[in-house]
Amino acid sequence: MNEEKQVRAVCEKFGLKGEYRNYEIVNSGHINTTYRVYYFRDGEVKDYILQRVNTYVFKNPVDVMDNISTVTEYIRAKIKQKQATAKRNVLHYSKTPEEQYYTFTEDGGFWRCCRFIDDSVCFMTTDSLDVIEESGKAFGEFQMYLSDFPVKELNIVIPHFHNTIRRYDALREAVKMNEAGRLAEVEQDVENYRTVEEIATKPYRLQREGVLPLRVTHNDTKLSNVLFDAATHEHLSVIDLDTVMPGLVAFDFGDAIRICASTGEEDEKDLDKVALDIEKYEAFARGFVPCVKDQLNQAEKDTLALGAVAMTVECGVRFLTDYLNGDKYFKIHYPDQNLVRARCHFVLAQDMIRRLDEMQAIVNKYCEGEKEN
């Protein structure tokens, strides 16, 4: 079946009303295949986000949708306590006539559909400190909405997702197997990552020792996972809830920093361009920290900046592992993209390690915010 036919057939399975107009591919994610589909109904265009979930990555996609539906309902109810409608502030997934949040296609595809939030935009990168601060608020509020959510109700959709120790083990395994025959080319990169293993695995070790508590976290807090109002650039909603699971607040903070506070792209080839932008870092902290600080223990506050090191290294290790394994996990748009990503993350992490005290001082400032006033 050609792509458009399949897209239309899936829309029909969700019983979307109105007249189908057209569709486009959305290329920003590394995991799922995403389409924006335009319908015409009641004199206006209605658009939807249709996704084919990557079942190589999400082995139990029904569990993913269970998590997403419970979490979005929970947040919707909270938002409605303070405002009339939550329409633009939380995702709304469509159900099929059989009352399911997903449908299958004959080729084994697992699909879901949600309304596109009206007049919203997202950014892959930005130089606007206001946008970055807004993204910090978006993830901070998300954290707050779920602070009393019963953690045990969540399915663990990817076991050991942010277990940095296991991510290093997977890299060692990939080195041993050398499946794609690329080891000779990356020996220096593997060695580089070894030099930062100790510091990068520290937050995970603190979690294991019970010093850092598990909370309900988003676990994939990149800038492009926030929607903003197209005109004002105020934050509307966080998206991509696939990996909402128990996790560390430091990791939600840190994974966002990895993207929004880097001077380069996630796959910047010119490594001289890659560094931590401390102003952007501060902008995110200014949005995020005040939302969460009252619920964090001292150890959590003290390790937020370290979370950025951990997430940058962990993500780099994952890119390098995938490169060695033959690019099976992350989507790539050119042959050595995973290697480029891995190298760029190492340079960024090194800069963060150099500036860790400065980074943590900024967090401390926003943790103490109220005392200053």
Residues that bind ligand GN1 (CB under 6 A): 29-31, 57, 220, 222, 225, 240, 242-243, 266, 315
Minimum CB separation of residue 29 from ligand GN1 in Å reads 4
Nearer to Mg ion, 207 or 221 (CB): 221
Using left for φ > 0, alpha for ψ between -120 and 50, and beta otherwise, residue 119 falls in: left
Nearer to Mg ion, 39 or 253 (CB): 253
For residue 67, the partner it binds in ligand GN1, Mg ion, none, with Cβ less than 5 to 8 A by kind, is none
240 binds Mg ion (CB under 5 A): yes
Nearer to ligand GN1, 57 or 248 (CB): 57
Nearer to ligand GN1, 57 or 79 (CB): 57
Interacting residues of 326 by C-beta distance below 8 A, sequence separation 6+: 179, 180, 182
Minimum CB separation of residue 83 from Mg ion in Å reads 27
Tokens of residue 156, six digits: 């663990």
Question: Measured between alpha carbons, how far is 354 from 169 in angstroms, rounded to an integer?
Answer: 25
Nearer to ligand GN1, 169 or 358 (CB): 169
Residue nearest Mg ion (C-beta atom): 220
Nearer to ligand GN1, 242 or 327 (CB): 242
DSSP 320-347: HHHHHHTS-SS--SSTTHHHHHHHHHHH
Minimum CB separation of residue 30 from ligand GN1 in Å reads 4
Minimum CB separation of residue 285 from ligand GN1 in Å reads 20
Minimum CB separation of residue 31 from Mg ion in Å reads 6
Quote the DSSP letter at residue 293.
G
Minimum CB separation of residue 18 from ligand GN1 in Å reads 29
Nearer to ligand GN1, 57 or 86 (CB): 57
Interface stretch with Mg ion, choices 218-226, 261-269, 310-318, 330-338 (CB under 5 A): 218-226
Question: Measured between alpha carbons, how far is 143 from 221 in angstroms, rounded to an integer?
Answer: 11
The CA-CA-CA angle for residues 328, 66, 45, to 5°, reads 85
Site string for Mg ion, 172-211 (x = CB under 5 A): ----------------------------------------
220 binds Mg ion (CB under 5 A): yes
For residue 322, the partner it binds in Mg ion, ligand GN1, none, with Cβ less than 5 to 8 A by kind, is none
DSSP E strand stretches across the chain: 19-26, 33-41, 44-52, 103-104, 110-115, 120-121, 215-217, 226-229, 235-238, 245-247
Question: Measured between alpha carbons, how far is 7 from 18 in angstroms, rounded to an integer?
Answer: 15
Minimum CB separation of residue 138 from Mg ion in Å reads 15
Task: Name the residue with tokens 């492009």.
Answer: 224
Tell me the HSE value of 117 on the side-chain side, using a 13 A CA sphere. 21
Greatest C-alpha distance within the chain: 63
- Chain residues binding Mg ion by CB under 5 A are 220, 240
